[in-house]
Amino acid sequence: MSNKGKNTLLWIIAIVLTVGLVIYQRSTGPTYPVNGSISIGDELIKYKLIRTFGGDKDALVEIEIENNEISGTITQKRFKSYDDWMTTDMVRKNGKLVGTIPNQPAAGKVEYKIVLRSNGKTYVINEEPVVIRFKGAVPRAILIPHIFFMFVSLLFALRVGLEIFFRKVDTRYYTGVVAITLFIGGLILGPIVQKYAFDAYWTGWPFGHDLTDNKTLFVFIFWVIAWFVLRKKPENKLWPTLAVIAMLLVYAIPHSVLGSEIDHTKDAKQTTETTLSE
Q: Are 120 and 160 in the same domain?
A: no
**84 and 148 share one domain:** no
**Residue 117 confidence (pLDDT) above 50:** yes
Q: What is the DSSP letter of 45?
A: E
Mean pLDDT of 64-70: 91
Q: What is the pLDDT of residue 60?
A: 96
In a domain, 278, yes or no: no
> Is the predicted pLDDT of residue 6 greater than 90, yes or no?
no
What does the alpha-carbon distance between residue 206 and residue 243 come to, in Å, rounded to a whole number? Answer: 22
SS3 164: helix
Quote the pLDDT of residue 206: 65
Return the pLDDT at 197. Answer: 86
* pLDDT for residue 80 is more than 80: yes
3-class secondary structure, 99 = strand
In single-letter form, the type of residue at position 103 comes to N
The whole-number pLDDT of residue 131 equals 95
Query: What is the arithmetic mean of pLDDT over 222-243?
Result: 94
Do 222 and 145 contact (CB within 8 A), yes or no? no
Per the CB < 8 A criterion, the answer to whether 124 and 38 are in contact is: no
Please give the residue range of the domain that contains residue 49. Answer: 34-135
Last residue of a domain, one of 135, 152, 175: 135
Q: Classify residue 100: in a domain, yes or no.
A: yes
- The pLDDT, as a whole number, for residue 242 is 96
Mean pLDDT of the chain: 87
Give the integer Cα–Cα distance in Å for 245 and 161.
Answer: 9
With a cut of 70, say whether residue 35 has pLDDT above it: yes
Q: Using pLDDT thresholds of 50, 70 and 90, give the confidence band for residue 46.
A: very high
Q: Would strands 71-78 and 109-118 be described as parallel, antiparallel, or unpaired?
A: antiparallel
Whether residue 270 has pLDDT greater than 50: no
Cβ atoms within 10 Å, residue 132: 24
Local confidence band at 166 (pLDDT 50, 70, 90 cut-offs):
confident
Q: Is the pLDDT of residue 278 over 50?
A: no
Cβ atoms of 38 and 116 within 8 Å: the answer is yes
The confidence score (pLDDT) of residue 263 equals 81
Structural domain contains residue 274: no
The pLDDT score that the predictor gives to residue 211 is 65
Q: CA 278, CA 275: separation in Å to the nearest integer?
A: 5
**Identity of the residue numbered 92:** R
Q: What is the pLDDT of residue 277?
A: 30
Cβ-contact 260, 200 below 8 angstroms: yes
275 pLDDT exceeds 60? no
Distance CA(186)–CA(150), nearest Å, equals 7
Among 215, 177, 175, 193, which residue's Cα sits nearest to residue 136?
Answer: 193
Question: Do the beta carbons of residue 170 and residue 234 sit within 8 Å?
Answer: yes
Residues with Cβ < 8 Å from 12, sequence gap 6 or more?
Answer: none
CA separation for the pair 168, 39 (Å, rounded)? 56
| pLDDT tens sequence across 134-156 | 998 899 999 999 999 999 999 99
Residue 270 in any domain: the answer is: no
Angle CA 183–188–191, to nearest 5: 125
Helix axes 3-28 and 238-252, enclosed angle (nearest 10): 30
**pLDDT exceeds cutoff 90 at 53:** yes
Q: Residue 277 domain-assigned?
A: no
Asked if pLDDT for residue 232 goes beyond 60, the answer is: yes
Asked which of 91, 119, 135 is the last residue of a domain, the reply is 135
pLDDT exceeding 70 applies to what percent of the chain?
90
Residues 50 and 110 in one domain: yes
Residues 17 and 52 in one domain: no
Task: Quote the pTM value.
Answer: 0.78
Say if 276 falls within a structural domain: no
Query: Residue 208 above 80 pLDDT?
Result: no
Query: For residue 59, what pLDDT is reported?
Result: 96
62 close to 98: Cβ distance less than 8 angstroms: yes
